[in-house]
Each structure stands twice: as C-alpha cells, then as structure tokens.
Structure 1
C-alpha cells in the first residue's frame, strides 16, 4: 500500500499539536515538514524549533523537506529521535554528493538522505549520485506555496525513476509532493511512487479520514 506523508504546512498553526495528533490517528505514515527560507523559494514557513515541539505528539517519523539555500549549514538542527528522512534540493546544493554524505552521517548514521527535483529539473541530473540516496522527491508543483495544481508531467518523471531503480537494482523510495489528491494518487502509484505528500487535500477536507483513505 502507498504511504502518505501529510504536509503540516497546510495545518492550522494555532492548534498544530492537535492537528498532528489527529492525522497520526487517522493513518499518516509520516509527518512531512516543509521548511522554507524565503530565498530558495518565495515563502517562509518554520524552523527546527517548531518541528521539535511536536516530538512528544507525533507517533510517526518526520519526513523533513528543506527548501532552503545552503542546507548544509542547518542539517544538524533537524535531527531528532523522530527524524527519518532529510531531503534537500538538487538545485540548492553546490556539492550534492558531499551533502548526501553529511545527511547520512547524522544521528549516528540512522538518518536517511533524500534529494528533491523541481518540475523543470530532469531526472538524469541525479545519475552520478542515484546509488547513494534513500529517497528521491519529485515536486509536482513549483515549490513555495501549498494548494497548487498538480503538474501531470510529474507522472512521467516518476515512471522514469522507477525504471532506473529497477534496471540498477536500487532500493531508494520515490516520493511525490504537490497537488496530490484522490484523483491522481492511483496514477502516481501505478507509475512507481512509494510515498505521497498531501497538504491542502487532507487538512482542508471536511472529512480527513476519507481524504487519507482516498489517497491510500
């Protein structure tokens, strides 16, 4: 079954703890933590302190997505007992191989390294490091804001990644973030996706349980 990682960027920040507790109880597999710096993307979200405040509330691991410039400066601050993935953007890393190694060295080597690709970034730019990553995140919207419309070409990128994974006998997971809903989730799953990120579709729904189940 596909795994789901609800993005707390779309949650009600005035009651964030309750929001996280609820989606965990409703079947979330991860908590997707979107970190934006106002430079790499045109928006500012929150930092490590907000994530850490949820440590005793979340019953599932963190899936941390750093949409920030020069992420190496901040990687250590996002390591907690709940952190499973830390994902950086290919477009933001000058020395991506070094950044991946840095992530995998954190938390006594238990943190998994992810790399994200913007909609206009081709999959083949990961060819030299694809065997080192634990996760590849395909952005199916242009990063920076929640609630955007899904870009259909993202399905082809997922399919291409899935083919590479099979041909090279690799184990990395494929995640998709942006505009995911009950209408396109099955297409992404069929293309080879393992984890789907959904924010507005879940948190703005009148029936969150039904929204999660429609994706799964």
Structure 2
C-alpha cells in the first residue's frame, strides 16, 4: 500500500470528528484482515507503544508498524509511552517503520526538544500527549511545534477505565492554549481513553477533533451505523 501524501494532515476532516482507530482493540490474531474490514471508515490508525516502565503495559513494536504500512494506506499515528532514555531511539525506529505522526509525552520533558528536533529532521509530524494527572499548562512551551495534542482521559496504558471527571474541562483548556498559540498550521486536539458511547458527545462538545476509538469501533454491532452516529456529532 502507498503511504499517505505529505498533505495528509491538511486533508483530515474539519466538519466532523476525525476517526482515529486504535490497533490495540483490533483482532491481533488476524490484524491485516481486521484492518481491511474497517479501512474505509478510518482517517488515522493509532498504534500504542509502551515499554513496561513509563506505562505498565508492553506494546507494540516497529516491525508491526512496518507490517501495517504494507496493508493500509491510512496515516499511522504512533503514541510512544516510553522512558526518556530510549525515546530518541524509538523515534528513529518507528520513523523507519513508516509512522506518519509520532507523539511523545510532555512528561518526557528532559528530551522533549531533542525529540521534536529529530521528528522535524525525519519529516515526521509531531504530537504530544498528557497523562490524566499532568497539568494542561505544561503543553504551552511546545504547542507551536506540534500537529496533534492528545489528552488522556484515563490512567496510562490500562484498558477499560471510566473517563476522568475533569476530561472535558482539560480539553477546553488545551483548546484555548492552541487557539492562543499563534500557530499558523493546524493543530488537532485529540481525546484518548474512556471513549464510550455516552462520553464521546461530551468530549466532542469540549473541543475534541478526534477521539481514539477502540472497542467502540472494532466491536460495534454495525460499524456503518456507529460511524454515521460519530460523524453526526
């Protein structure tokens, strides 16, 4: 499959929620087939990466992204949940594997600027993610260098949790920081974690331009109906 064009960020929808599908919720025993099943509904594929230190989970690896690149033409967003000591190496490996967007954490602040420099050198779009307990204000020094800002609504690296009660207010704060940044390029505001049928309208109303869809998409009784509902929000 060909990679997305260099203008893929500008091509993302502006009049509806961007559909970002998390591969963590796909059928991992038949990943290529499951991605093919949902491909026409996907705007961005989301791949979580965790080292077992920064986050309790251990997820996914560069060869998987390289494999996804072969079977999907959709932009690939790699979310790195890794320790500072390995962050730059991980960026190199996932850039080589075909990632179109790589998000580090604002909590990786000791190497954050070096990481953003590296992403710029590699021609990979940059994003940042904030843990649910991290003050939103900490994104401000970096925001003009980013294409995506993602706020976690649950504890990092753990499936199946309820949405934090402050998620909506945090999104509004992030939206205000983005709007006041003076950036001349598009910066997408994303919500990740606690994504359920009853929480998506709240997140959308608070300013989310995309939500990271896991079981809500992959386990939907009718994906066509689920996506029609999502696009109507």
TM over 0.5, yes or no? yes
- What residue is the counterpart of 2:12 in the other structure? none
- How far apart, CA to CA, are the structure 2 residues paired with 1:9 and 1:79? 19
TM alignment of 1:89-168, pairs within 5 A: 89-106=105-122, 109=123, 111-168=124-181
Distance in structure 2 (CA, Å) of the matches to 1:22 and 1:52: 19
Distance 1:80 1:187 in 2: 37
Aligned-residue offset at 1:169: 3.3
Instruction: Work out the CA distance in 1 between the residues paired with 2:37 and 2:204.
Output: 25
CA–CA distance in structure 2, aligned partners of residues 132 and 215 of structure 1? 29
Partners of 2:169 and 2:195 lie apart in 1 by 15
Please say if residues 60 and 82 of structure 1, whose CA atoms lie closer than 8 Å, have aligned partners that are also in contact: no
What TM-score results when the alignment is normalised by the length of structure 2?
0.85
User: Is 1:52 matched with 2:66?
Assistant: yes
Equivalents in 2 of 1:53, 1:91: separation in Å?
Answer: 29
SS in 2 for 1:74: helix
CA-to-aligned-CA distance 1:68-96 (integer Å, 9 cap, x gap): 11311211111258522100111234121
Deviation sequence 1:111-160 (CA, Å, 0-9, x none): 11111000000111122222222211100111112222122311111111
Contact 1:180 1:196 in 2 (8 A): yes
Count of residues in Structure 1 that have an aligned counterpart in Structure 2: 212
RMSD after superposition: 1.7
1:105 CA displacement:
1.4
**Deviation by residue 1:24-44 (Cα, 9 ceiling, x = unmatched):** 12x110110011111111111
Distance across 2 between alignment mates of 1:152 and 1:36: 25
Q: Distance in 1 between matches of 2:69 and 2:171?
A: 31
Residue in structure 2 matching 1:31, options 28, 37, 45: 45
Aligned position for 1:186 = 201
Q: After the TM superposition, which residues 78-97 of structure 1 pair with which residues of structure 2 at under 5 Å, given as runs?
A: 78-79=94-95, 83-97=99-113
Distance (whole Å) between structure 2 residues aligned to residue 118 and residue 7 of structure 1 = 17
Normalized against structure 1, the TM-score is what?
Answer: 0.91
